[in-house]
Structure 1
C-alpha cells in the first residue's frame, strides 16, 4: 500500500477541519468542580463550625469522607438527606446539583489540628474530603486581631460583626490527598518583600520577628537557584509561616516551619530550602501517593543534597543517606512504590534517602544536562496534575533517548540493597608500569550497577568505572606506578550497603541497634533514673539490659538507697541484664558516668564533657558492628532537661553536649570513605 505524501495529509486534515462546526472550536475546556468552604471558630471550646458546598457536573459520583466530623445537615441539589450517624464515615451519592454539608468538629486533643485561644493550625482532616480534583475557595472568620494564611494567590480581609473574614483565592485544582490547610495566630508579626513579581511574606512570632529579614533574603536566594534549574516559580505569593502548632510542611504558596528553624544560625540547618523546593515538587506537579511518593526524594536531591554540594560535601550527604538506611532499615524495607509518607525512622530512610539516591543515579546514568532538561519537561507536562514514577521515567527517556525500565524496576520494586566486596587483588610489572587486576563481588541477587573506583598508586591516582551486572566482575587496569590501594565507590554514587569500617558511630547507630547493655555503678542509678523512658520516647526499639559494676568514685560521692522516678523501669532492665549473662560482645554498650571503670578498659584515657549532659558514641573495639555510648550528667535534673534534646535532635552526631536546654557542642566521628582495600 502506498503511503500518502505529507502534502496530502495536510490537505486532508485541513479539509476535515473546515467541516468541524464552529461551536466545537469555541467550546471551552470542562471546568473542574469547585469546593466552597466557610468556617468559623469557638476558640474557648476548641470548636470549628463549617459549611461545605461542592459544585460540579450533575450525575457525578461523589465519595465523601467525613473523617469523624459531626454532620449537622446534608443536602443534594436542594433536597435534604438523612444525616449520617454512628460509624458511618463515608457518604456515596450522585450529584443532583450543589451538595451542601453543615458540620462541626472539636480539636482539643488532636495531633494534626490545633484550635486554641491564640492560634489555629488545621492540616489533618478538618472538612469533608471528596475524592478527585477540585478548585477550593476558603472563607475563614476569626476574632479581631488574628492573621490567617492558607493556599492562595490572593488574600482578602474583611471586617464583619463576627470578627475578621479571610477569603483565600486559589484558582488551580487540588487533589483530595493534599487538599487545603489553614494557619492563624493573634501574634504573627508580618513583614513583606518581593522577588521579581513574587510577593514574599514572613509570618513570625514576636520572639523571632527579628529573623524575618534574614529568612526573606534566603527565600529569594532559593527562588533564584530553583528557577535556574526548574523553571519559573509557579505562584504569585510565597509565605514563610512559623507554625503555631509545630511541624514543617509545604503547601501551594506557603511553607510552615518549626519555631526551632528560626533559632538556627545557618540556613542549611533549617527546612526552608526543602519546603520551598516542594513548591515545584508536590505543589506544582502533584504526587500519586497510591503508587509511591516520589516528592520527598527529588526535593531532598534539589534542596538538601544541593546545599551540601555547594559546600563541597555532596558525598557526605549521600553517605549519611546510605548509613541511615543501613541503620534504620537494613534488609527489612518496603519498595519505593509503596512509600506514601514518613511515620518513623525506617520510612524516612526509604522515602527520603533511598529515593534521593535514585534521582542521583538517574542523573549519573543520563548526564546532568539531560537530567535537568527532563525535570523541566516533567514539570511542564505534569503541571497541576497527579503524576507518578512512570511519568518521571518517561520524561527521562524522552530527553535521554535511553530505555530506563531496568533502572526504575530494580530501584523501585526491589527491597534488597547491593552489597559489594573486593578480593582477588593481583598486580604485576608490565612495560611502562604495572597491571592491576581484582574482582568486584555482589553478595546476593545481582543489580545492574556502574561502580566508580579510585586507585591510588605511587605518584598519583586514577578513577575508573566498572559496569557490574553479575555476581563477580573482574577489572584490569594499567598504571604508571605501583598500586597501593583500591577504593570502591569513594563518593557514594551507588545506593549500597556500607562496609563495617564505613559506618560512623553516631547516636542514630545506637538507637537503631536491637539491644544494648547498660553498665553503671550503684551510685549512678539514681542520677540516670529517667534514661530508660527518655530512650523509649526516641523512636527506637532498643531493648536495654542492665549490668552493675563497682569502680572508683569521686571523693564524697555516696550511693543513695532511695528509689526515685524510673526505679521500676531500672529494676526491669536489671533483671533482663542478669538473664543476658556477662561478657557479651554482640550487643552495644551504654556506659553511665564519667568514672565508669569500663570506659578506661575499652578506650584508655578518653576525654569526656566536663559539664552539662553529654553523650559520646564510639565504635566498640571488641566488635566493630556495635557501638559504645558514654552518657554523663552533672545532676539528675540535667538528664531530664537536656537528654531528650541531645538524643532526638542530633542523632547524626557522635558527641553532643547540652547545658540548660541549649546545644553547647556537637561533633561527628570519622569513618572510612568508600570500600577500601590495600594492594598486597
Structure 2
C-alpha cells in the first residue's frame, strides 16, 4: 500500500470501531464564548403581549454582539460592569450592544424586555411565512421564530439554553429541548425546557393544545418521550402520528445512528407551515389532516433531527442538510415503492431544473435556505441528486458507512460540505475532490448528447464506435448508456471527461440504437425532447405573461390573483388584442372562451386525459417556438377561486383536472429519451 492508502485504511479501522459500537463522539469544548441562556417568558396570546427576563452567561468571552429585535422595549439591561444602556438611539431600531474583548473567565448579562406581537394571520401560505420571520400571536396560536430576534441573543453563536414558558390557562407551549417540568392549573400553564447541547437558536410555539404522549425505546433501549401538541379539532389524529414517529425514529437510527434527544413532538400550527426544529416539527392543521403527510413530510422532518438539527450545516459554504434529507426521506420513499417511482422523481428534479432561466441558478455553495421555487430546485433537488450520484459511485454500503461516520464524529457541530467530502473519502479510500468541486462550486449542469454512433462486424461480434459531447467547460462524468442489440439491451457507463470523446465498445449482438441515460441517473440539462412542458415553466420564468379571457372585473381580479400566486410576483398582463411573445404565457378563462381562443390560435384543444373532468382543467402546451403555454379553463368564477390555494403546489405536473379544490386527475407528458440509431 502507498502511505496515503495506509493512512486512509487506518482511519477506516478507527471509524469502523466507532460506528460498530454505536458510540457517538461529542464535540470538543469551545475555546471561547461558551454561552447559556436562562429565559423566563410570559405570553398572553389573545392580548399578544410578551414579557421576558433573560440571564446570559458567557464563558471565556471574546468580542461579541448582543441583539434584540426592534419591536421590543428594554426595561433593564446590565452586565458585570454595570448598565448596558438601551442599545439603540430611537424606537423602531433593533437593540444592538457591541461588547469588547474581556479577559475574564465569565461575564453575565441581565436583560428584561416586553413588547406586542404581530397579529396572527391564518391566510398566509408557507412561502409567505418563510419570507416573513416575525413573531405572531392570536387565540389560535403563537409562533416566535428565532429569526425574528424575539429574545436577547449573542449574534452568530451557538448556545445552550433553559426556557421557562408562562401562559394563561387553556394554552400550552414549548421550545425545542427536554421538558424538565410542567404544571397546568387554573392560574395558568408553566413549563421549563432545557437544551443541553449548543443550538442554533430558539423557536417558541404556543396554542390551545391537547397533549397526547407515547414512549419509544431507542436503539440503546433508552426511553424517548413522544408527544403531539394538537389543536382540539385534530386530536383524534394523535395516535397515528405518534405511531408513525416511532417507525421513522427506528428507521433512521438503523441507517445513521442513535437518536440524539430524549423526546420528539409533533406540533400543530394554525397556518400552513412546515418547519423542523430539534426534537419537534411544526406543521399546519390542514397539512396534518392530509392522509399522505404521515408517509412523506413527517419522515422528512423527523430526519432533520440528524441532518440540520443534529449536525448543523455551515451556511458560509452552503446548506447540505436539505439535499441529504430530501434524498434519504422524500426520494427514498419513492425509490422503495418501485424503480419507476424513483426514476420519475429524478426526472422531476431535472425537469424542474430545465425550467430555470439564466440568472436563476446558483452553485450549491451559495444555497442557505429555501426562499422561492428556484432556490428549492437547487438546494433540495440538485443536492439530493448529488447524493444519489455519490451513492452510485461509491456503492450503497460505503455510502451508508459515510453517513454513519459523519453522525458519529460531527454531532452538534457546525459542519461544511468539505467535512462531508472528507468523511466519504475516508470510508471509500477515494479522492472525491473532482466530484464535489464540480457539483458544488459550479452553477448549471452539463449538456450531454450523442454525436455519432456506428458499428462494424468483427470476429468476436460487433464493435460500436460512439461519440459523446458535452458543453464547455467539461465535467468529469460517468455517463450511463444503453445499447439496443439483436440479443437484448446492454448497459454501459462511459467516463466522459472532455467536451468530445469517442468510445469503442465490444458487443456480442448487432447494435441497433443507443439511449443516453434512459434511467435519469445523471444530473444534466435535459434536451428539448426530454423535457415535456410542466406548470413550473411559467411559474419560475421571470418573463412569463398572463392573458385573461374575460372583461368581467370580478373574474379578472380572481385570475390576476391566481397568476400572482403562481409566479409569486405581480403578473404582467397582456391585452386581448396583443400578440403572444416568445415568453411563456398563462391563459385563464371560462371554458367556452378558452376553446375559441385556442382555435383562433391554431393550437390543440383540451387534452383527452382531462376533457369533461371536474369544473376546472389546467394543462401545458409546447408552442412551436419552444415557449410553454399554460392554460387554465374553468366552468365559472367559483371554480377559478377554488384554484387559488392548491394550484401553485402542482408545478411539476403537465395537466390537472379539479373538482373544486380537489385534484381528480393529474399527469406529466411523457419524456422522449435521447435515442440515436446506429449506422
Task: Please give the TM-score of this superposition, normalised by the length of structure 2.
Answer: 0.84
- Is contact 1:331–1:417 with CA below 8 Å preserved after alignment? no
- Is contact 1:62–1:93 with CA below 8 Å preserved after alignment? yes
- Is contact 2:78–2:84 with CA below 8 Å preserved after alignment? yes
- Is contact 1:614–1:655 with CA below 8 Å preserved after alignment? no
> Aligned in 2, Cα 1:606/1:593: closer, same or farther, shift over 3 Å?
farther
Tell me the CA shift for residue 545 of structure 1.
5.0
- 1:129 is matched with which residue? 153
Mapped pair 1:411 → 2:439: yes
Q: Distance in 1 between matches of 2:314 and 2:548?
A: 51
> Aligned in 2, Cα 1:213/1:618: closer, same or farther, shift over 3 Å?
same
- Is contact 2:65–2:154 with CA below 8 Å preserved after alignment? yes
Tell me the CA shift for residue 526 of structure 1.
6.4
- 1:148 is matched with which residue? 173
- Is contact 1:218–1:267 with CA below 8 Å preserved after alignment? no
Tell me the CA shift for residue 587 of structure 1.
4.3
> Aligned in 2, Cα 1:626/1:138: closer, same or farther, shift over 3 Å?
same
Q: Distance in 1 between matches of 2:215 and 2:295?
A: 23
Q: Distance in 1 between matches of 2:297 and 2:513?
A: 39
Tell me the CA shift for residue 613 of structure 1.
4.5
- 2:51 is matched with which residue? 49
Render the CA deviation track for 1:215-243: whole Å, top value 9, x for unaligned. Answer: 22222222222111111111111111112
> Aligned in 2, Cα 1:367/1:602: closer, same or farther, shift over 3 Å?
same
Mapped pair 1:667 → 2:666: yes
> Aligned in 2, Cα 1:597/1:400: closer, same or farther, shift over 3 Å?
same
Tell me the CA shift for residue 129 of structure 1.
1.9
Mapped pair 1:494 → 2:522: yes
Q: Distance in 2 between matches of 1:325 and 1:415?
A: 11
Moved more, 127-136 or 274-283: 127-136
- 1:638 is matched with which residue? 639
- Secondary structure in 2 aligned to 1:538? helix
Q: Distance in 2 between matches of 1:512 and 1:62?
A: 40
- 2:76 is matched with which residue? 73
Tell me the CA shift for residue 362 of structure 1.
1.9
> Aligned in 2, Cα 1:377/1:40: closer, same or farther, shift over 3 Å?
same
Q: Distance in 2 between matches of 1:622 and 1:525?
A: 32
> Aligned in 2, Cα 1:405/1:432: closer, same or farther, shift over 3 Å?
closer
Mapped pair 1:429 → 2:457: yes
Q: CA RMSD in A?
A: 2.7
Mapped pair 1:183 → 2:189: no
Render the CA deviation track for 1:299-348: whole Å, top value 9, x for unaligned. Answer: 11111111111112222212111221221355642221121111111111
Q: Distance in 2 between matches of 1:525 and 1:162?
A: 53
Tell me the CA shift for residue 406 of structure 1.
1.6
Mapped pair 1:206 → 2:205: no
> Aligned in 2, Cα 1:481/1:522: closer, same or farther, shift over 3 Å?
same
Aligned length: 616
- Secondary structure in 1 aligned to 2:305? coil
Q: Distance in 2 between matches of 1:652 and 1:268?
A: 21
Q: Distance in 2 between matches of 1:251 and 1:589?
A: 38
- Is contact 1:281–1:295 with CA below 8 Å preserved after alignment? yes
Tell me the CA shift for residue 618 of structure 1.
3.1
User: Pairwise mapping of residues 26-425 of structure 1 onto structure 2 (< 5 A)?
Assistant: 32-57=34-59, 59-68=61-70, 69-77=72-80, 79-85=82-88, 86=90, 87=93, 89-94=95-100, 97-109=107-119, 111-112=132-133, 113-123=135-145, 124=147, 125-131=149-155, 132-158=157-183, 163-174=188-199, 178-196=200-218, 197-267=223-293, 270-312=296-338, 313-328=341-356, 330=358, 332-425=360-453
Tell me the CA shift for residue 88 of structure 1.
5.7
- Is contact 1:441–1:473 with CA below 8 Å preserved after alignment? yes
Q: Distance in 2 between matches of 1:589 and 1:352?
A: 27
Tell me the CA shift for residue 450 of structure 1.
0.7
- Secondary structure in 2 aligned to 1:667? strand
Q: Distance in 2 between matches of 1:134 and 1:221?
A: 31
Q: Distance in 1 between matches of 2:313 and 2:494?
A: 35
Q: Distance in 2 between matches of 1:604 and 1:343?
A: 36
Q: Distance in 1 between matches of 2:240 and 2:494?
A: 46
- Secondary structure in 1 aligned to 2:115? strand
Tell me the CA shift for residue 409 of structure 1.
1.4
- Secondary structure in 2 aligned to 1:328? coil
